[in-house]
Amino acid sequence: MARILITGSADGLGQLAAQRLVQAGHHVVLHARNQRRADDALAATPGADSVFIGDLSTLEGMTNVARQANALGTFDAVIHNAAVGSREPRRVETKDGLNQVLAVNTVAPYLLTALMTPPRRLIYLSSGLHRSGSASLVDLNWASRPWNGLQAYSDSKLHDVLIAFAVARLWPKTFSNALEPGWVATKMGGPGAPDDLELGSVTQAWLAAGDGPGTDVTGGYFFHQKPAKTHPDANNTEVQDGLLAICAQLTGTRLPRP
């Protein structure tokens, strides 16, 4: 059975994926941003091995989660699920000077990937909205642009695909993929979301477990376990490398090369 870390698994799709994987007999480590949510996560997912605590909106919190993970040993898979939604009415700046959407949705999965011992499988949750994201790497922090929460979210979900594809290219021994779960009725998606909530956790669990046909793939983008269309620049290696360079500058940590 696989040992799997799921970020942002105190509720929503992360919690559903954790429950699905625990029921299948896998060793699942949860993650929450504080102790209260960590307690809620463990209560909601009986059978989970443990829970890491760290606020992924801060570089310190990201680094602490990576340290906890490395102290436990190498994971078979990591699901980068934690995210901030598109309904942020204003630009929220973290103590590191980053806007919160960029910090949680882009920088956190990058830094955790860079700091953790590479697992066999990496899964990055994106969104169908990534196809509306901008591949421009100018002012990712929205420091000078008028704030647009939906655009910032869409851009960040494109970043997740770019990171997944870059890692697939640079780390040939790791299966690195991205997916969209659909617009589902989580706290982030809202009560009116039309897609199937249960199906929203299937693909990431399937890829993380790696015990089914079609899971030994890298550089893929999926929706409900099937390949899906990506942004035209998702496979643009110059854009991928440019994003990695910006993330390295923001975090002071370069993505290791094999």
pLDDT digits (tens, 9 = 90+) for 24-57: 999 999 999 999 999 999 999 999 999 999 999 9
Which residues are the active-site residues?
153, 157
Instruction: Please give the angle made by the CA atoms of 13, 15 and 20, to the nearest 5 degrees.
Output: 95
- Distance of CA 245 to CAs 143, 242, 254, 255, Å? 18, 5, 8, 9
Helix (H, G, I), strand (E, B) or coil at 81: coil
Q: What ranges make up the beta strands (E) of the chain?
A: 3-6, 27-32, 50-53, 77-80, 121-125, 175-179, 221-223, 226-227
| DSSP designation for 164 | H
| pTM as predicted | 0.96
Structure-token pair, residue 29: 């480590």
Give the bridge partners for 50, in sequence order: 29
Q: Express each pLDDT in 131-175 by its tens digit.
A: 999 999 999 999 999 999 999 999 999 999 999 999 999 999 999
Domains of the chain plus CATH, in order, are 3-251 (3.40.50.720)
Helix (H, G, I), strand (E, B) or coil at 25: coil
Give residue 188's pLDDT band: very low, low, confident or very high (50, 70, 90).
low
